[in-house]
Amino acid sequence: MTDNTATVAQENLAPMLIQVRDLKKSFGQQQVLKGIDLQIPQGSVCVILGGSGMGKSVLLKHLAGLLKPDSGEIIVDGEDLVPMRDKHLQNYRRKIGKVFQEGALFDSMNIFDNVAFPMREHLKVSEEDIRAKVEHKLKLFSLNPAEVNSKYPSELSGGMRKRVALARAVALEPKLLLYDEPTTGLDPITTDQVDQLILHAKSELGVTSVVISHDIASAFHIADQLLFIYKGEIVVRGKREDILNCPHPYVHQFLEKWRQKNQ
Partner 1 sequence: MNESAPQEKTASLWRFLAPVVGVGHLSIGFVREFGRVLLFGWATLIQMFRGPYRAKEFFRHMREIGFGTLFIVIFTGFFTGLVFGLQTLIAFRRFGAESLVGPATMLALARELAPVLTGMMVAGRSGSGMATELGTMRVTEQIDALEMMAVSPIHYLVVPRVLAAMLMLPFLCAIFDGAGFVGAYIMGVAREGVDPGIFLAETWYGLDPPDFFEGFIKAVFFGGTIALVSCYKGFNAKGGARGVGLAATEAVVISSVSILVGTYLITELLHPFLYGYIYFDSFPQVGP
Ligand X SMILES: Nc1ncnc2c1ncn2[C@@H]1O[C@H](COP(=O)(O)OP(=O)(O)O)[C@@H](O)[C@H]1O
Residues in touch with ligand X (CB under 6 A): 27, 32, 50, 52-58
Q: Beta-carbon neighbour count of residue 90 at 10 Å? A: 12
The residue number whose beta carbon is nearest to Mg ion equals: 57
Exposed, middle or buried by CB within 10 Å (0-12, 13-18, 19+), for 206? exposed
Q: How many CA atoms lie within 13 A of 186 on its CB side?
A: 25
Give the amino acid at 184: T
Which stretch, 56-64, 71-79, 132-140, 201-209, contacts Mg ion (CB under 5 A)? Answer: 56-64
Residue 156 has what DSSP assignment?
A: S
**Cβ atoms 246, 256 nearer than 8 A:** no
Which stretch, 1-9, 17-25, 97-105, 242-250, contacts partner 1 (CB under 8 A)? Answer: 97-105
Q: Does 90 help bind partner 1 (rule: CB under 8 A)?
A: yes
Exposed, middle or buried by CB within 10 Å (0-12, 13-18, 19+), for 243? buried
> Nearest distance from residue 153's CB to partner 1, in Å?
10
* Whole-number Å distance between alpha carbons of 94 and 257: 39
From the list 20, 40, 96, 130, which residue makes contact with partner 1 (rule: CB under 8 A)?
96
DSSP H or E segment with residue 247: none
Q: Which does 203 bind (CB under 5 to 8 A by kind): ligand X, partner 1, Mg ion, none?
A: none
For partner 1, the closer CB: 22 or 121: 121
Q: Does 50 help bind partner 1 (rule: CB under 8 A)?
A: no
**Cβ atoms 212, 57 nearer than 8 A:** yes
> Nearest distance from residue 54's CB to ligand X, in Å?
4
Q: Does 101 help bind Mg ion (rule: CB under 5 A)?
A: no
Q: Does 57 help bind Mg ion (rule: CB under 5 A)?
A: yes
Sign of the alpha-carbon dihedral angle for 192, 196, 199, 201: negative
Which residues on adjacent β-strands are paired with residue 226?
Answer: 47, 238
Which stretch, 7-15, 45-53, 114-122, 132-140, contacts partner 1 (CB under 8 A)? Answer: 114-122
> Nearest distance from residue 25's CB to Mg ion, in Å?
14
- x/- binding map, residues 152-181, to partner 1, per CB under 8 A? --------------------x---------
Q: Which does 91 bind (CB under 5 to 8 A by kind): Mg ion, partner 1, ligand X, none?
A: partner 1
For residue 3, CA distances in Å to 41, 70, 132, 137 come to 19, 28, 49, 41
By CB under 8 A, the count of residues binding partner 1 is 22
- Contacts to Mg ion by CB under 5 A: 57
Residues in touch with partner 1 (CB under 8 A)? 64, 66, 90-91, 93-94, 96-98, 100-102, 104-108, 117-118, 121-122, 172
